[in-house]
Chain A
Amino acid sequence: MELISTILIDFALAFCVAFCWGILFGTPWKALLAAGLLGGFGHGIRFILLQSNMGLVAATLIASVSIGLLGIYVAHKVHNPPVVITMPACITMIPGLYAYRSMLAGIKLSDQAILDKDPNVIPTIAHNAVLTFSLLFTLAVGISISALLFRNKNIGIRFDKNRSRSKDK
């Protein structure tokens, strides 16, 4: 029971993040809700996978790929290109903490006294930088999964059909 409530809280927070990030990126307001839901869903998946002891990078990859795949379907529902909603949704998993840690360690590296006291600074930089880049790469793969798996043209045609259908109504 407690686990479910934690997952729900995680979902709600990630929903807020993706929704607000959509505003920052200028996503059309009709698509904001879709972006928020996708973001919450993806972050929720990652949370569950992390709870079941999966690695951070693998969990993020699975979450962002599921955001990317689900995004194709949702995008047709709200008549927007997929990237408009998957971009804010994937940003919820941006590796800010690791980027910050590698930067902070980088500042410390420039100070001899701190380096003498704590020689672990260099492994800290390396570890966090590698994590940052791999997480960024997984996010990009998730967003571009539609273009990678399906040929561009098919998606375009499907998008078009939806658009003309919505106009007929």
Chain B
Amino acid sequence: MENTTKSPKNIKASEVAEFILDAGVFLMASGAHSGRVWRNCRRIAEHWGYRMNFNPTFTGIMVSVWNDKDSENAVTRYKTAPANTVHLETLTQISHLSWKIADNEIEYDDACLELEAIKHKAHYPFWLVALAVGISCGCLCTLAGGSPVDAALAFCGASVGSIARHFILKKQFNQFLSIIIASAITTLIAGTDTIFGLGRAPEMTLATSVLYLIPGVPLINSVIDLLEGYFSASIARSLFAASIVSSIAVGMILSITLLGINNF
């Protein structure tokens, strides 16, 4: 292969594997589908003169890196992925980094430093996320046929729930627990619409206000992985998404039972 005959960069296979794993699991946890992780990693490995193969599962990545000319210089490693937090900016930045490496613009040490910087990149502040979540749930409610009162309640429910979830996660509680509590709070606030008959379409308020918890990225990624043939990653992702959806349902059931099922 042409790519494997590039000038030796004096980088050991274990170093390449370490870098690829670091970038790969982080991409995976930030919401990249397996095909994207594979493309980015292979681009890096080929430029540094190695061939690679990997087995992505949602919880971690196993990677083999080897050199056709130097059979001693080969390694297989596994790394567990960090907790799943969707952050699409990571995808952009690691993609750019991998192209920089492929274009020979950056050396191994600098690439490691840059990867470290990408890992510590902050997410949007939680109050902005809460505001955005509120606005989008309000807009979704209007789109589904709700009146402005319905939309306002959806806004309140989603924002308060999102803030609550942020603080629960900050205390390092289980993320499914955080989703149950957040969806219960949101449903309690949105449920007042049904109880007091405030808006025109109270059903829409309830249905749309918890949408911010829906694991859209894992759900869609699981289908993409299925279509591209990464079955184990696909199954793991759909299980993860399914348990989040059932957590949302549990939270809603708690609140709906509290408010009285016959009212809905």
Whether the Cβ atoms of B142 and A20 lie closer than 8 Å is no
Whether the Cβ atoms of A91 and B227 lie closer than 8 Å is no
Cross-interface CB contact of B227 among A22, A107, A144, A159, cutoff 8 Å: A144
Instruction: For B214, give the chain A residue with the smallest CB separation.
Output: A94
Whether the Cβ atoms of A17 and B36 lie closer than 8 Å is no
Stretch at the interface among B112-120, B127-135, B169-177: B127-135
* Interface assignment of A100: CB less than 8 Å from any CB of chain B: yes
* Interface assignment of A136: CB less than 8 Å from any CB of chain B: yes
* Interface assignment of A26: CB less than 8 Å from any CB of chain B: yes
Contact with A along B249-260 (1 / 0, CB 8 A): 100110011000
- Report if A83-B249 is in contact (Cβ < 8 Å); known contacts: A13-B142, A17-B143, A140-B223: no
- Which chain A residues border B144 with CB–CB below 8 Å? 96-97
Interface positions, chain A 1-49, Cβ under 8 Å from B, are 10, 13-14, 16-17, 19-28, 31, 43
Q: Interface size of A by Cβ–Cβ distance < 8 Å?
A: 55
Complex CA distance for A135 and B130, rounded to whole angstroms: 26
Whether the Cβ atoms of A28 and B261 lie closer than 8 Å is no
Stretch at the interface among B4-12, B16-24, B64-72, B200-208: B200-208
Min CB distance, B200 to chain A, in Å? 15
Contact with A along B14-49 (1 / 0, CB 8 A): 000000000000000011110110010001000000
Whether the Cβ atoms of A80 and B220 lie closer than 8 Å is no
Whether the Cβ atoms of B135 and A83 lie closer than 8 Å is no
Whether the Cβ atoms of B204 and A83 lie closer than 8 Å is no
* Interface assignment of B79: CB less than 8 Å from any CB of chain A: no
Cross-interface CB contact of B261 among A91, A100, A111, cutoff 8 Å: A111
- Which chain B residues border A14 with CB–CB below 8 Å? 139, 143
Instruction: For A85, give the chain B residue with the smallest CB separation.
Output: B88
* Interface assignment of B167: CB less than 8 Å from any CB of chain A: no
Cross-interface CB contact of A24 among B33, B102, B136, cutoff 8 Å: B136
Cross-interface CB contact of A96 among B92, B103, B208, cutoff 8 Å: B208
Whether the Cβ atoms of B220 and A139 lie closer than 8 Å is yes
Whether the Cβ atoms of A147 and B228 lie closer than 8 Å is yes
Complex CA distance for A80 and B88, rounded to whole angstroms: 10
- Report if A26-B124 is in contact (Cβ < 8 Å); known contacts: A139-B220, A143-B224: yes
* Interface assignment of A73: CB less than 8 Å from any CB of chain B: no
* Interface assignment of A74: CB less than 8 Å from any CB of chain B: no
Cross-interface CB contact of A107 among B129, B212, B253, cutoff 8 Å: B253
Whether the Cβ atoms of A91 and B92 lie closer than 8 Å is no
Interface positions, chain B 209-264, Cβ under 8 Å from A, are 210-212, 214, 216-217, 219-220, 222-224, 227-228, 245, 249, 252-253, 256-257, 261-262, 264
Whether the Cβ atoms of B132 and A26 lie closer than 8 Å is no
Cross-interface CB contact of B208 among A97, A136, A137, cutoff 8 Å: A97
* Interface assignment of B77: CB less than 8 Å from any CB of chain A: no
Complex CA distance for A83 and B228, rounded to whole angstroms: 15
Whether the Cβ atoms of A107 and B207 lie closer than 8 Å is no
Cross-interface CB contact of A91 among B31, B123, B207, B216, cutoff 8 Å: B216
Which residues in A have some Cβ–Cβ distance to B below 8 Å?
10, 13-14, 16-17, 19-28, 31, 43, 79-81, 83-84, 87-88, 90-92, 94, 96-97, 99-101, 103-104, 106-108, 111, 114, 136-137, 139-141, 143-144, 147-148, 152, 156, 159-160, 163-164
* Those 7 A-B pairs whose CB atoms lie nearest each other, nearest first: A140-B223, A20-B136, A100-B207, A20-B132, A26-B87, A23-B132, A144-B224
Known: A23-B128, A106-B249. 8 other contacts (CB 8 A): A17-B139, A80-B92, A90-B220, A111-B261, A140-B224, A143-B224, A147-B228, A160-B102
